[in-house]
């Protein structure tokens, strides 16, 4: 049946309101299990406002149910409720945002919201994640405002009025499916594919195409900085949130020091969007580019947040209804002990981090994958074990090699320091890091290299502050050349990440040189580093960052190191009730360290006793130190090789 025949046959059924209703039914049946839908209905209708036969949620009901703080919560400095309500009101009108948004939050609208924000859209969106980015941009962008640089008040993001006007409103805002041509570029021709997969069976393609082209080139849509900062702060706070965990577990203890840390991370992420080049707001091009490449897991916390809709505390899964028991399927009520115990990613060890604050860990989870699965670091059953720290083990390559080269798993290197006076970029604090999913390997001449593999993911080089910047691993460099390893360690030249290693020379010592788009080198004293970033170069370990300004093709920062930390990646057991695999991996590593320490001490005593005179003792000790068998002990600062 053709589209024209269908529209003529359906009559009023071809209008957007009816098609949106039918689409919500398809969403519910295709994307939820019967049990999830039962819980969803109980959650919605037990809280809904009934006005003239229409049942809906307002902003307060939504915020209270999700546990998202708003201005009415005097105990929490976050005020993200209006932003979440604004997003939901836009997504509830899918796919007719131009005609129906902002949507009243009826049951049908909330079904579509839950599908889109819990990433169950594979059966209804043709291009899945790319389409979701476009929808999220539309839900946050300001409409018809060229001056969006000013910080809006609460009214700028609070779209709901009183209950009466909310139900009868027909405001046609949020017309941002397609900003001006300069932002969309070549995407204009295929924008209409956004929801065609969902509408093809409804014979409603023409209706959707007409809607999506309304005022397509009129508005220059931007996301205001204030609106996006509010959302970022919420995402940072709830990043560790697991399915069915209460949000209050993460928002109930936001003191001023914690909030200052959250604001700092939010500002470093905001800086990645080059707001100064976007008329004071965030354009679609910048939003899509950064969120898809430099922050691929940024919106992951929204998934467990909205999965709360799929579990109702009113329904007791242990009781029977008539003669039939209610099957719990994959939906289980969380235990009381799990409700108020936010998990930590860091395991206890020989030192406590001065860099990995909760906000920084959240920041890392927005772009770092788990080495064992294609999810973010916090979702991938991964923990961090302390391996090396200059604050605890001293600034010695001997201690570094003893702790790091013997760690038989992937590592996370973090560096915090100040840009030196000699650097062309002036003073200021900076935090850098590199993610190495493969272990460091000992080799002749104290050489160490890591090689990426498809099963463990690719390495990456990144800057956390003052501006978020990610240099992703180069897939074409999966087989590294001997002179261009991912990571290199030498007692003569120090540590090199993403560099080209010169051939050995008897006459003079050559240092590693930058290769490709980025590199990090650390001197033998572990006191200074050089961070090199280029907007060009695809022949190295790392690709150019998406956040590099076109005006700065090459940036080289000289850094005075305050703290250098190495954290080992430890898989968590798949069975949460048993920690044996994780404990086993850590215990094996500790036993290896202890054995090497005892062996080094034994050799030291043998060589020292066998020598005659001070010169023999010093010579034996020099040999052992050069081999990395003895050196600084944990807890002592300083030392040399």
> CA torsion sign, 178 to 180 to 183 to 185?
positive
Long-range Cβ pairs for the range 328-333 (8 Å, 24+): 328/35, 329/33, 329/35, 330/33, 331/33, 331/35, 331/36, 331/39, 333/244
d(CA 45, CA 32): 17
Using CA of residue 91, residue 92, residue 95, residue 96, what is the dihedral sign?
Answer: negative
Beta bridge partners of 535: none
In what helix (H) or strand (E) does residue 224 lie, and over which residues does it extend? strand 223-224
C-alpha to C-alpha distance for 534 and 531, rounded to whole angstroms? 10
Alpha-carbon distance of 129 to 516, in angstroms, equals 29
- Whole-angstrom distance, CA of residue 27 vs CA of residue 13: 18
Nearest C-alpha neighbor of 250 from the set 197, 305, 199: 305
The 10 Å Cβ neighbour count of residue 14 is: 18
H helix or E strand, kind and range, residue 66: helix 59-66
pLDDT at position 529: 96
Alpha-carbon torsion 126, 127, 129, 131, what sign? negative
CA dist., res. 31 & res. 404, Å (int): 46
Count of other CB atoms within 10 angstroms of residue 575: 9
pLDDT average per 10 residues of sequence, the chain (641 residues) = 37 66 85 92 95 94 92 75 94 82 92 90 64 86 51 42 40 38 42 46 46 44 91 96 89 88 96 74 88 94 95 70 44 45 77 94 94 84 91 91 88 94 71 93 47 61 95 76 84 91 79 91 95 88 77 82 95 54 61 68 62 57 53 38 30
Which residue do the tokens 């897939």 mark? 475
Rounded to an integer, what is the distance from CA 258 to the centroid of its chain? 19
What is the b/e burial string over 213-222, where b = at least 16 CB atoms within 10 angstroms of the residue's CB? eeebeebbbb
469 closest CA partner among 563, 530, 535:
535
Torsion of CA 33, 34, 35, 41, to 10 degrees: 110
How far is Cα 604 from Cα 609, in angstroms, rounded to an integer? 9
């Amino acid at each position: 049946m053709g589209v024209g025949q269908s529209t003529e046959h359906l009559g009023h059924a071809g209008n957007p309101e009816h098609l949106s209703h039918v689409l919500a039914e398809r969403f519910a049946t295709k994307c939820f299990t019967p049990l999830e839908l039962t819980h969803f209905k109980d959650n919605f209708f037990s809280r809904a406002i009934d006005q003239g036969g229409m049942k809906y949620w307002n902003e307060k009901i939504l915020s209270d149910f999700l546990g998202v703080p708003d201005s009415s919560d005097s105990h929490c400095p976050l005020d993200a409720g209006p932003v979440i309500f604004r997003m939901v009101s836009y997504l509830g009108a899918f796919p007719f945002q131009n005609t129906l948004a902002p949507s009243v939050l009826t049951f049908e609208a909330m079904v579509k919201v839950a599908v889109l924000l819990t990433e169950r859209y594979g059966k209804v969106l043709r291009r899945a994640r790319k389409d979701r980015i476009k929808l999220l941009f539309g839900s946050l962008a300001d409409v018809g405002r060229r001056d969006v640089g000013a910080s809006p008040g609460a009214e700028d993001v609070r779209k709901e009025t009183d209950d009466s006007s909310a139900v009868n409103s027909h405001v046609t805002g949020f017309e941002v499916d397609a900003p001006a041509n300069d932002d969309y570029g070549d995407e204009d021709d295929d924008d209409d594919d956004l929801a065609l997969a969902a509408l093809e069976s409804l014979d409603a393609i023409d209706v959707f195409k007409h809607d999506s082209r309304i005022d397509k080139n009129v508005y220059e849509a931007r996301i205001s900085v204030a609106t996006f900062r509010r959302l970022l702060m919420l995402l940072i706070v709830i990043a560790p949130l697991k399915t069915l965990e209460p949000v209050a577990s993460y928002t109930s203890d936001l003191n001023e020091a914690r909030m200052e840390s959250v604001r700092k991370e939010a500002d470093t992420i905001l800086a990645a969007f080059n707001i100064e080049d976007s008329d004071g707001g965030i354009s679609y091009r910048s939003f899509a580019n950064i969120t898809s490449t430099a922050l691929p897991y940024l919106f992951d916390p929204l998934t467990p947040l909205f999965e709360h809709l799929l579990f109702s505390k009113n329904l007791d899964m242990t009781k029977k209804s008539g003669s039939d028991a209610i099957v719990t399927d994959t939906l289980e009520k969380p235990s009381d002990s799990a409700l108020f115990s936010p998990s930590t990613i860091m395991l206890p060890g020989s030192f406590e981090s001065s860099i990995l604050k909760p906000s920084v860990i959240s920041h890392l989870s927005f772009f770092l994958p788990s080495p064992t699965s294609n999810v973010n670091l916090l979702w991938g059953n991964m923990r961090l074990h302390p391996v090396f720290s200059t604050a605890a083990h001293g600034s010695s390559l001997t201690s570094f090699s003893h702790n790091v080269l013997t760690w038989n798993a992937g590592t996370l290197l973090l560096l915090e320091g100040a840009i030196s006076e000699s650097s062309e970029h002036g003073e200021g604090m900076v935090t850098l890091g590199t993610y190495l999913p493969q272990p460091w390997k000992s080799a002749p001449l104290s050489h160490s290299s890591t090689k990426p593999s498809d099963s463990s993911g690719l390495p990456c080089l990144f800057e956390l502050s003052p501006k978020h910047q990610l240099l992703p691993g180069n897939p074409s460099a999966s087989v590294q050349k001997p002179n261009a390893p991912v990571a290199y360690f030498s007692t003569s030249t120090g540590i090199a990440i993403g560099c080209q290693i010169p051939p050995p020379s008897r006459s003079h010592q050559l240092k590693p040189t930058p290769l490709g788009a980025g590199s990090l080198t650390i001197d033998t004293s572990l006191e200074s580093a050089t961070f090199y970033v280029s907007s060009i170069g695809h022949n190295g370990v790392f690709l150019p960052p998406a956040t590099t300004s076109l005006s700065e093709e090459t940036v080289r920062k000289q850094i005075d190191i305050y703290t250098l930390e190495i954290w080992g990646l430890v898989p968590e057991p798949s069975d949460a009730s048993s920690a044996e695999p994780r404990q086993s991996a850590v215990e094996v590593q500790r036993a290896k360290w202890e054995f090497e320490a005892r062996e080094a001490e034994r050799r030291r005593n043998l060589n020292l006793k066998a020598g005659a005179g001070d010169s023999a003792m010093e010579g034996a000790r020099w040999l052992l130190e050069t081999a990395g068998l003895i050196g600084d002990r944990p807890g002592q600062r300083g030392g040399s090789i």
